[in-house]
Amino acid sequence: MSNHYIYNKSHIFWDEQIETVVIRWNSFATGDELRDPLDRMIELAVIKKAKKALFDNSHVLVLEEDMKWLSEEWLPRLLNAGIQYTATVNPKNSEANNNLHIETDKDKTKLLHHEFERIHNAIVWLSEIAA
């Protein structure tokens, strides 16, 4: 199985240096154009036994219907895949989402999430976490 996947609107790959599964969006995506790459990201995380994920959302905007799918369906699967640390790059960073701790009721799985304005800062933060 490949260590990277290229879609029209995103690129998913394994970054060996920071031991992180990464998705970089290059344009706006909704529906299956958003969901298929995110599902592939989970598959790669399982194959690599990843604990960390990086989302470069510099060029993506999530609609309400996709947000519901992300929180109700996709996030629990991401946690079940073993991801414990996530970094998101949003150029117009919302300070309210910095250092977000998520705990699911079902299995008490914890996720440490941090948002950044620049990709470099996200990479530095993830590289400081032992995989």
| Residues ≥6 apart with Cβ < 8 Å to 49 | 82
Q: Under CATH, which architecture does the 4-127 domain have?
A: 2-Layer Sandwich (3.30)
Please state whether beta strands 100-103 and 52-56 pair in parallel, antiparallel, or not at all (unpaired): unpaired
Amino acid identity of residue 108, one-letter, is K
Tens of pLDDT, residues 3-58 = 889 999 999 999 999 999 999 999 888 899 999 999 999 999 999 999 999 999 88
What percent of the chain has a predicted confidence (pLDDT) above 70?
A: 85
Domain residue limits, the chain:
4-127
| Residues ≥6 apart with Cβ < 8 Å to 34 | 60, 62, 66
| Residues ≥6 apart with Cβ < 8 Å to 80 | 109
| Residues ≥6 apart with Cβ < 8 Å to 90 | 57, 58, 115, 116, 117
Q: How many residues does the chain have?
A: 131
Read off the pTM. 0.85
